[in-house]
Every structure is written in structure tokens, then in C-alpha cells.
Amino acid sequence: MGPQSNDHQVEEHVERMRELFGRNLREARKVARLSQRDIHTISGYSQSFISEIETGKRSISLDNMAVLAKVLNVPLWTMLKP
């Protein structure tokens, strides 16, 4: 296995984690009975940003993950759990 193969594996892992966070964000938001607009109002993040996170189309920083978890009143680690 060369370095390029490892790079590809890392990229795939990051993509899966981004999609996992997005799915868990959407699920936690629905459990909390909040709309994307509600999350926007509480967090200040745009509704389009929240939508792109939920669909895995956009990367998100750890800081922003922590804010969204706090808004939803869930531990951050649960947002990264399959």
C-alpha cells in the first residue's frame, strides 16, 4: 500500500464521518422538534449552512459541531456515533 492509497482511505473516512454527523444532526434536530430555521435562530448559522451539513455537502469544524450539539442539548460525541 503506497501513500496515495492511504490518502484515499483517509479521504473516504472523513467523508463518511461528515455524512454521519449530518445524519445524526438531522435526527437530533427532529427529536428536539426543531426546524432548520429554529437552529438558525438559536445558533446564528444560516439555514443553508445547516442544510448542507445535514446532507454531507459541506465540511464543518469541530467548534461548529460543538455549537450545534449544544443547541440540540446532546453530547458532541453522540453526533459522531454510528
Q: Tally the domains of the chain.
A: 1
What distance in Å separates the CA atoms of residue 15 and residue 57, rounded to the nearest whole number?
Answer: 9
- pLDDT given for residue 5 in this prediction: 76
The C-alpha cell at 71 is: 443547541
Q: What's 72's domain CATH number? A: 1.10.260.40
Which residues form the domain of 29? 3-80
Cα–Cα–Cα angle for 50, 28, 63, rounded to 5 degrees: 50
pLDDT by 10-residue block (mean), the chain, 82 residues: 78 94 97 98 97 95 97 96 93
What distance in Å separates the CA atoms of residue 34 and residue 14, rounded to the nearest whole number?
Answer: 27
